[in-house]
Every structure is written in structure tokens, then in C-alpha cells.
A and B are shown apart, each in its own frame.
Chain A
Amino acid sequence: MTSETARLRLKTWICTAIVVFSNAFGDFFLKRGLPESAHLTGPLEFIGALFQPWVALGVVLLIVWQMSRMALLSWADLSYVLPVTSVGYVLVALIGKVLLNETITGKRWAGIVLIMAGVALVSGSAPSTVPRAVAPVGGSR
């Protein structure tokens, strides 16, 4: 493994960890702040819901998620990012079980195992297969 691949891989893994955790906890706080009884019918109610403290925290985490995901996509393939970040589904299922008392059935456990296997397969491959962007660093078109 050349130092360039090693550098890109380390950067990819750190960024992936941020993407996965901010997404899972963002979703969790969103769910926590929105009880079943919430009636989200008009646009005003959607906006109002954004200002409930737990929902707001969830939204902040989801902003972190989007920004870290965009950074990751600036160098890694979509067909790499998608399966690798899906480890978040496992985290969400575990958070649902531990913190929201949702049940994880046998089927769900089987699904979690399959997801982990898929993530393991893809995470071993190189993050990028597309030639480097022609735009200069920091530039944009």
C-alpha cells in the first residue's frame, strides 16, 4: 500500500465515522423530539417542530452529517460511500433498542448481520475509482 492510498484510507475512515455517528444520533434525537401525537399537517407546524429542543439538536447533527458526507463524496465514490455508511442502520437499530425500547426481532438481527457483511466487503476496496477531478484544489466549477 503506497503512502497516498494509506493517507486516503485513513481520511476516509475518520470521515465515515463522523458521517455514521452524526446520522444515527441525528435521527434518534429527531424521533425523541417528535411524539406520535405530533400533527404535522401544515408548513407552519413543520417549522414550529424544528424549534423543539430535541428536534433542534437532531437537526444540528443532521447538518453535521450532510457536511461530512459532502466532504467524503469530494474524494470517495458514491458506490463506496453508500454501502460503507450503511453501518449506520445497525447503529440506528441498536439505539432504537437501547434508548427507545423498540424491539429487534430475529429478522432484524439477520438483516443487521447481512448489512455488516456487505460493509466489510466494500470497505476493503479502494474508495475512489474515478480519475482525480480536473478542478484545482479549493476551486470549483
Chain B
Amino acid sequence: MKWVLVVVMVGATTAGEVLQAAGMRRHGEIHDFRPGAIGRGLAALARNRYVIGGVAAMAISFFAFMKLLSMTDLSFAVPVSAVTYAMETVLAKYLLKERVSGLRWAGAALVICGVTLVSL
């Protein structure tokens, strides 16, 4: 049961975050942080298909995470979700067309090793 929840959470998180990043890229850099502008920005995002898909996937991931937290330690539940790093970095390169430099691959690899150690 614990591992089923982990799989659901990891799949939903990966899909959600890549969709969210794609949606925000299309929205463009946010410059204005005044409340009115944030309101207008949210209204625009509510019509952004990538963002809507991302939010739906993240809602699934959130409830799986809540259920997992009720069964395990915080310091197990959080680190185990870091499997998403590997998948998301690869998707960032091929789907989002980001230039993932050697430095970034090295950093991502260190983070993945670190998070795996933390969750063992």
C-alpha cells in the first residue's frame, strides 16, 4: 500500500510539474507583484491548458501525499518523492527544450543520490 501510494504520487508529480513549467513558460516572465496584477495573472493562468492539466495532476499527487503522511514519517514521505528529479530533468531537456549543462546534470545527480540516501 505504501509503495502503491509512492508510485501514484511520483507519476502525478512528474506530469504535473512538467505541465506547470510548460504553461508558465508560455505565460512569460511575471514582473508585476501588486495584488491586482497577480489577480489578472491568475485569471489568465486559469485559461492556460497546460496549467489546468498541471493543477489536476498535482491535486492527485497531493492527496496521495497526504495519505502517505498519515502512514509514515515525514522524513520518509518527502525524500522518497525525489525520484521525480531524474524523470523531470530528462523531460525538461527533451520536452521543454532546456539546455541542461554538464553542471546541471552533475547537480541533479548529486541531489538524486542525496535524496536516495536520506530516504533509505
Contacts and interface: CB of A to CB of B under 8 A. Distances in A.
Given A40-B66, A46-B66, A125 B101 contact: yes
Given A78-B98, A137-B31, A122 B66 contact: no
B28 A137 contact: yes
Nearest to A115: B114
B104 A74 contact: no
B109 A118 contact: yes
Contact of B73 (A73, A96, A125): A96
A70 B58 CA distance: 13
Interface residues of B, number: 64
B103 interface: yes
Counting chain A residues whose Cβ lies within 8 A of the other chain, the interface size class is: 35 or more
A75 interface: yes
A80 interface: yes
Interface in A45-84: 46, 49, 62, 66, 69-71, 73-75, 77-83
A74 to B, nearest CB: 4
Interface string B44-67: 110110010000001000110011
A17 interface: no
Interface in B72-92: 73-75, 78-79, 82, 85, 88-89, 91-92
Contact of B107 (A31, A78, A121): A121
Interface in A95-141: 95-96, 100, 102, 104, 107-108, 110-122, 124-125, 129-130, 132-133, 135-141
Interface of A: 27-28, 30-31, 34-36, 38, 40, 46, 49, 62, 66, 69-71, 73-75, 77-83, 86, 89, 92-93, 95-96, 100, 102, 104, 107-108, 110-122, 124-125, 129-130, 132-133, 135-141
Given A102-B75, A111-B119, A135-B27, 4 more contacts: A34-B66, A89-B78, A133-B27, A140-B26
